[in-house]
Amino acid sequence: MKPSLNTYLDTVQLLKSYQGTHEANRTFALQHPELASKPQQMLLTWVSKYRFEITEPLNSKSYTQHFQAITQLSAFLFFVLGFLTGFGLLSYSGEAPVNVIYYLFIAMLLPIIGMILSIVSLLGDKNIGNFFAHFFPLYWLEKILQTLSPKYRTTLRTHVALPYTLQRWLFVERLQMLSLLFSVGLLIALLVMVVVKDIAFGWSTTLDVAPASFQSLLSTVGWIWHAWLPSAVPSIELVELSQYFRLGERLDSTMIANANRLGAWWQFLAMTTLLYAIGLRLLFWCVTRLGLQKALDRAFLHIDGIERLQRHFQTPFVTTQAPQVETHLPLTQTNEEPTVPTEKRAYPHIFGWNWTTEEMLLIHDSRQIQGKQTHEAGGSHTFSEDEAIARLAQGLVLLYVKAWEPPTMDFVDFLELLIDNPKVERIQLYPLGTPAQAYRSDPNDVEVWRRKLQGFNPAKVEIIDAT
Amino acid sequence: MQPKLYPKFAVVGHPNKGKSSIVSSLALDDSVQIANTPGTTQVKRGFPLVVDGKTIYELFDTPGFQRARRILAWLQSQEPVTADKRADLVKSFITQHRDDPRFHDEIELLEPIIEGAGIIYVVDASKPYGAEYETEMEILRYTGQPSMAILNLIGDEDYREQWKRALGHYFRLVRTFNPMTATFQDHIALLESMAQLKEEWTEDIKTAIQVLTNLHQQKIDQTIDAIVTHIQKSLTYQEIQTIATDKATKVEESRAINRYQTHLIQQEKEVEKEIETIWNHRSIDKVENLLAFDNVGLFSKESASIFGLSQKELIVTGASAGALGGLGIDALAGGSSLLLGSLIGGVVGGVGAMLGFDNLYHIKLLGQQFGRRELTIGPMQNLNFPYVLLGRALYYASLLAKRSHALRNTLHLEHETFYTQQIIDSEMRKELEKLHTKLRKGEEVSEEMSEAYRQVIMKSFQALICS
Ligand SMILES: Nc1nc2c(ncn2[C@@H]2O[C@H](COP(=O)(O)OP(=O)(O)OP(=O)(O)O)[C@@H](O)[C@H]2O)c(=O)[nH]1
Ligand SMILES: [Mg+2]
């Protein structure tokens, strides 16, 4: 499978609207391991799988339709033109013989020049190519069609979007095919004329050419078929016999006498047409077809998006994110704000949640607070130890907490023990900062504690803000 | 189904110590809920590293410990068992308390560990150590899973020595990791530590490191590709507008210019989006605090002075690009305004005019192409503009590439610190200018030239993201 002009156009159109995700494309590549070493096949398979993603009318369809119509029309015109040219060249009025040099010019020299020009136009850059294009009738035919047909203009919009080399190869390849048809027309005209008419061939030139050298030229032309079709190479007698001079006005009598022998030329002319105008052209056409395919292959790999696609095929698809969205438990919130008193100087009971007694003494010093009894809670104590000391509490209770440590449910459990203790009148929660900060806490941290206390009885729990 | 054999890691710890931040930065996932409210994460969430459908390892974000003491008490109240059976105790705690709302958080965090996950214990080492942490570490020890600790520094103080002394009793590995500022190298270093946790995991983690390294390089490549394409598209962009008469009116012209600029601004927005997607910053909030990044930003004089070349560089570049013609340096030095903005405002300084500031764009009349009169604007003619585009794109991309996925603050585009000259030296500029010149002329750019251009941009981008 090779990319055709259709696949090329479809791919351009497809990649404009759809390129697939890395994940999907990589999956596709992994599903086709047999194509791993054939990138072009992989791409073509991908394109045929996703072609349906093109929602707009296919460019390829309208383009190739018009392109084909024009090619067919041109093919017909070229064939007819070839036939008419042959017909014109071989029209023998009975006055002067048909000059084989004219015919050879059209059937041999012109095709060879044409092919050389084609090659030159392919080799050079855009400007050279465009310049040489002017030499080809096809160029002018297209120009005429452009002006005549509005439909063709639309097609042209697609056409000019093609990469330049591809355009060039399309043109040259088509040109070879059309020239071939022209030559076929020429050959048919020759054969038809030979059958229906008795043509006297002759040769004549202003240049000073001896029959012998002319004959050697002709045998060089015919050396290929000389071995197996010697009658299709004019002999020296025939060449001498058929030389005529235009200035002589009339056919000379020897020529008339040998008129039947002059017809022997036709085999040579037919073979020349067959070999040079048709055979060689056919060969060249095949070559340009190959060239066109190569240009298509190259252009295909350069379509916008192809490189990305290939990268998708080759690079592993990696994800690091969580596949699910984050879930949250329903929130229960009340909006009662605990009051914010300032600290008192003396308390009957002071509890340190996660503070050690040693640390609490330092706090007392630093904050000039006195406590009749200090108790450790949390920290390395067990829950049942906490239960026991919570029972000791009475009256106004001061509760130190580490402001920077978020309140855990463990703390809440302990706070509830204190609240549930009927002897406790009020609890003042005191979030403290680190010793290094002289126990001043960060307002954000205090805010966290304040929020945690929402929902507790504000008459019983207060928070001291020592930020 | 076979049990999944890939390594898993549960990131656990006290509430609000940056567990989610660490996971978010390691998983390059900016969708994780991170907040200064303890209890933000309520349900465990897996972050697998998946390559082509195959999981290499999985990280778990978990809620923090809430009632650690109760659980430890429960575990210690059971019949004592030998060390190899202690994990079963934890398992039976989970099965017995699955419906107990009091232990919801602990069950969420212990479950992955019981299923084989390694433990990554996160603490905030900017706050002092406390005995209450021992309860948590004891519970983790009951699970018998391999474990390490991460010291995160949320605040300004540093108690790492204290923490290390304590954590050393429980964890073989203790590492510092700051999720907010961690670079790609820091990620890899942390993964290397994780690989040491268990012999069976080493290979997988090595693979993961390889995968992530490739992924990182891929992102850089994609970013460069996006930027190069952006530059090429913008510089060659042509706004074509049909006009009524043979000569465009002022209104028609200014409408076309407007459309041209809008297109380029839109194009820049798109490449920014693309870069955000490449680096997985999809929910980013931007503050475009100065004009330079807002809608008129691309064409503003701030933008030109920050991202563009200096006056001197412009003259040098202009001279080498042949834009100055026969103009003397004296004439240049006498000019006043080199700013793009002045042009937009309609004021054109003398030097500006010489340097091509009056013709930001080619405006040309296409005559009757396809039977329509057209006004064409572009390709961009201004010498400075490519550097403005490039500087802006590189600056934006480097910010995103370096940004941690744990950050939830808005992205501040503080371009005052950015100077194109710092990342593109004159040698590089020469290389860049080759392509800019081609694009200005609307000529085709060869692949080698594109590649050389890409290399220069790659170099400056690498320098930017390493700084
Ligand atoms: N400056 C700074 N802030 C951090 C760092 N790590 C975490 N934070 C902040 O700390 C707060 C808590 O971070 P999270 O990642 O949500 O912590 P967590 O442990 O997941 O919290 P929960 O899910 O509530 O248990 C957030 O406001 C983060 O922005 C850090 O390294 N530096
Ligand atoms: Mg969290």
Residue A188 is given by DSSP the state H
- Chain A residue with CA closest to B138: the answer is A380
**Which residue has the least CA distance to atom 14 on ligand 1?**
B18
Q: Distance, in angstroms, between A396 CA and closest chain B CA?
A: 26
Residue A330 alpha carbon to ligand 1 centre in Å: 22
- Predicted confidence band of residue B320 (pLDDT cuts 50, 70, 90): low
Calpha distance B176→B190 (Å, rounded): 9
B124 and B171 inside one domain: yes
User: Would you call the peptide bond into A57 cis, given omega within 30 degrees of 0 as the criterion?
Assistant: no
Taking the CA of residue B15 as reference, the ligand 1 atom at the shortest distance is: 25
- The residue written with tokens 């197996």 in the block is A228
Exposed/middle/buried for A357, CB within 10 Å: 0-12, 13-18, 19+? exposed
Quick one: closest CA in B to A305, which residue? B229
Number of domains chain B is built from: 2
Residue B438 at interface with chain A, using a CB cutoff of 8 Å: no
Does B359 have pLDDT greater than 80? no
DSSP reduced 3-state for A419: helix
Residues of B with CB below 8 A from A405's CB? Answer: 14, 127, 130, 132
Rounded distance between C-alpha atoms, residue A269 and residue A108, angstroms: 10
Half-sphere exposure at residue B54, Cβ-oriented, CA atoms within 13 angstroms: 11
pLDDT tens string A160-186: 678 888 888 888 898 899 999 999 999
Which residue has a Cα nearest atom 21 of ligand 1?
B16
Dihedral in degrees, nearest 10, Cα atoms A364, A368, A369, A372: 80
Three-state SS for A336? Answer: coil
Interchain pair B45, A434: CB under 8 A: no
CA distances from B151 to A62, A265, B127, B177 (A): 67, 103, 11, 6
pLDDT tops 50 at residue B291: no
Q: Which of the ligands is closest to the CA of residue B179?
A: 1
The number of CA neighbours under 13 Å toward the Cβ of A321 is 16
Q: Which residues of A19-31 are buried (b: 16+ CB within 10 A; e: fewer)?
A: bbebeebbbbbee
Rounded to whole angstroms, the Cα distance separating B47 from B23 reads 8
Q: State the DSSP code for B154.
A: -
Option in B28, B38, B45 nearest A320 (CB): B28
Identify the pLDDT of residue A227.
83
* Closest residue of chain A to B46, computed from CA coordinates: A322
Type of residue found at B364: K
Q: Band the pLDDT of B24: cuts 50, 70, 90.
A: very high
- The string of pLDDT tens digits covering residues A54-78 is 888 888 888 888 888 888 988 999 9
> For A92, how many CA atoms within 13 A lie in the half-sphere containing its CB?
21
Q: How many CB atoms lie within 10 A of CB A321?
A: 19
pLDDT at B294: 46
Nearest 5°: the CA angle B344, B347, B349 is 115
Residues B191 and B245 in one domain: no
Helix axes A281-301, A110-123, angle to 10 degrees: 20
Name which of A321, A354, A451 is nearest B130 (Cβ-Cβ): A354
Q: What's the CA-to-centroid distance between B195 and ligand 2, angstroms?
A: 24
Within a domain: B203: no
Please provide residue B380's backbone torsions phi and psi, each rounded to the nearest 5 degrees.
-55, 125
Residue B32 Cα to ligand 1 middle (Å): 11
Indicate if the pLDDT at residue B362 is higher than 60: no
Task: Give CA–CA dist B228/B303, Å, rounded.
Answer: 19
Nearest ligand 1 atom to the CA of B21 is 15
CA distance A155 to B174: 70
Q: Which of B135, B162, B197 is the last residue of a domain?
A: B197
CA distances from A72 to A151, A159, A205 (A): 16, 17, 38
Cα dist. B426→B234, B317, B323, B466 in Å? 23, 9, 17, 21
Please state, in angstroms and rounded to a whole number, the distance separating the CA atoms of residues A416 and A418: 5
Task: Count A/B contacts: CB-CB distance under 8 Å.
Answer: 131
Do the Cβ atoms of A456 and A415 come closer than 8 Å? yes
Residue B209 counted as domain residue: no
In terms of domains, do B400 and B343 share one?
yes
| d(C-alpha B173, C-alpha A426), whole Å | 45
By the CB < 8 Å criterion, does B190 face chain A?
no
Residue at B279 is within a domain: yes
Looking at the structure, tell me whether residues B218 and B192 fall in a common domain.
no
B178 lines ligand 1 (CB under 6 A): yes
Residues A179-183: contacts with CB under 8 Å, at least 24 apart: A179/A78, A179/A111, A179/A114, A179/A281, A180/A278, A180/A281, A180/A282, A180/A285, A181/A75, A181/A78, A181/A79, A181/A82, A182/A78, A182/A79, A182/A81, A182/A82, A182/A85, A183/A82, A183/A107, A183/A111, A183/A273, A183/A277, A183/A278, A183/A281
pLDDT band at B31 (very low <50, low <70, confident <90, very high): confident
C-alpha count within 13 angstroms, C-beta hemisphere, residue A135 = 16
Is B321 contained in some domain?
A: yes
pLDDT recorded at residue A246:
53
Are the beta carbons of B127 and A405 separated by less than 8 Å?
A: yes
Give, for ligand 1, the residue of B21, B43, B104, B122 to mutate: max count of ligand atoms closer than 8 Å to Cβ: B21
Residues B176 and B299 grouped into a single domain: no
DSSP B413: -
CA angle A176, A181, A183 (to 5 degrees): 95
CA B391 – CA B420 distance, rounded (Å): 6
Domain A339-464 annotated CATH 3.40.50:
yes
Helical (H) or strand (E) element with B123: strand B118-124
Residue type for position B285: D
Instruction: Select from B19, B41, B44, B66 the residue whose CB has the most chain A CBs within 10 Å, as the one to mutate to test that interface.
Output: B66
Model pLDDT, residue A151: 67
Q: How far apart are CA B328 and CA B311, in angstroms?
A: 15
When CB atoms are compared, the residue of B52, B131, B211 closest to A30 is B52
Helical axes B447-466 vs B199-236, angle rounded to 10°: 120
**Structure token digits, residue A86:** 């042959």
Closest ligand (CA of B64): 1
Q: Do B14 and A379 touch (CB under 8 A)?
A: no
Residues 6 or more apart whose Cβ sits within 8 Å of residue B163: B123, B125, B129, B151, B174
Nearest Cα to B205, choosing from B219, B189, B194?
B194
Contact between residue A232 and residue A270 where contact means Cβ atoms under 8 Å apart? yes
B contact residues 26-55, partner A, Cβ 8 Å cutoff: 26-29, 31-33, 36-39, 41-43, 45-53
Secondary structure, 3-state, A104-150: HHHHHHHHHHHHHHHHHHHHCCHHHHHHHHCCCHHHHHHHHHHHHCH
Nearest residue in A to B64, CA atom: A408
Cβ of residue B154 lying under 6 Å from some atom of ligand 1? yes
C-alpha to C-alpha distance for A317 and A334, rounded to whole angstroms: 47
* Average pLDDT for B222-226: 94
How far is it, in rounded angstroms, from Cα B220 to Cα B342? 36
* Long-range contacts, stretch B327-334, CB < 8 angstroms, 24+ apart: B327/B354
End-to-end, the C-alpha distance of chain A in Å comes to 77
Domain containing B417 equals 214-465
* Whether residue B239 sits in one domain with residue B292: yes
Q: What pLDDT, on a 0 to 100 scale, did the predictor assign at position B419?
A: 67
Tell me: do B74 and B133 sit in the same domain.
yes
Chain A CB within 8 Å of residue B280 CB: yes
For B:202-221, CB contacts with A below 8 A are 211-212, 214-215, 218
B454 — contact with chain A (CB < 8 Å)? Answer: no
User: How far is Cα B97 from Cα B361, in angstroms, rounded to an integer?
Assistant: 73
Asked whether residue B44 falls in the same domain as residue B157, the answer is yes
Q: Smallest Cα–Cα separation from B155: which of A206, A403, A455?
A: A403
Element (H, E) at B150: strand B147-152
- Strands B45-51, B54-61: pairing is antiparallel
Using a 6 Å cutoff on CB, does residue B43 contact ligand 1?
no
B125 CB near ligand 1 (under 6 Å): no
Q: What is the mean pLDDT of residues B80-95?
A: 92
CA distance A180 to A34: 41
CA B4, B10, B15 angle in degrees (round to 5)? 155
Q: How far is A401 from A466, CA to CA, in rounded Å?
A: 12
| Cβ-count burial B249-259 (b if 16+ within 10 Å, e if not) | eeebbebbbee
| pLDDT tens, N- to C-terminus, chain A (467 residues) | 889 999 999 999 999 999 999 999 999 999 999 999 999 999 999 999 999 998 888 888 888 888 888 889 889 999 999 999 888 888 866 667 788 888 888 888 888 888 888 888 887 777 777 777 777 777 777 777 777 776 666 666 666 678 888 888 888 898 899 999 999 999 999 899 888 887 778 887 777 778 888 888 888 888 888 888 888 888 888 888 777 765 555 556 666 666 667 777 888 888 989 988 899 999 999 999 999 999 999 999 999 899 999 999 999 999 998 888 877 766 555 555 555 666 777 888 999 999 999 999 999 888 888 888 899 999 889 888 999 999 988 888 999 999 999 999 999 999 999 999 999 988 999 999 998 888 988 888 888 888 888 877 777 888 887 66
Judge if B297 and B221 occupy the same domain: yes
The pairs formed by A16-22 with CB atoms below 8 angstroms and a separation of 24 or more are: A16/A304, A16/A305, A17/A53, A17/A54, A17/A55, A17/A56, A18/A50, A18/A53, A18/A54, A19/A305, A19/A308, A19/A309, A20/A46, A20/A50, A20/A309, A20/A312, A22/A312, A22/A315, A22/A317
Quote the tokens at residue A441. 């806490």
A404 contact residues in B (CB cutoff 8 A): 124, 127, 155
**Is residue B1 a part of any domain in this protein?**
no
Q: Determine contact, residues B357/B349, Cβ cutoff 8 Å.
A: yes
* Shared domain check, B224 and B87: no
Q: Which atom of ligand 1 is nearest to the CA of B153?
A: 31
Question: What is the per-residue pLDDT for B296?
Answer: 46
Q: Does B69 fall in a domain?
A: yes
The CA distance from B223 to B221, in Å, is 5
- d(CA B383, CA B378) in angstroms, rounded, equals 13
Sequence spans of domains, chain A: 6-313, 339-464
Decide: B155 in ligand 1 pocket, CB within 6 A. Answer: no
> Which residues in B lie closer than 8 A to residue A383 (C-beta atoms)?
69-70, 73
CA dihedral B434, B437, B439, B444 (to 10 degrees): -60
**Residue labelled with tokens 């805010």:** A447
Which residues of chain A make contact with B50, given a CB cutoff of 8 A? Answer: 317-320
Query: Do A409 and B102 make contact, defined as CB atoms within 8 angstroms?
Result: yes
- Token digits for A3? 């990319």
- For residues B70 and B165, membership in a common domain is answered with yes
How far B252 CA sits from the closest chain A CA (Å)?
Answer: 25
Q: CA B349, B351, B354, B357: dihedral to nearest 10 degrees?
A: -50
- Same domain for B223 and B105: no
What are the C-alpha distances in Å from A160 to residues A30, A153, A155, B198? 37, 10, 9, 63
Q: Is the CB of B62 under 6 A from ligand 1?
A: no
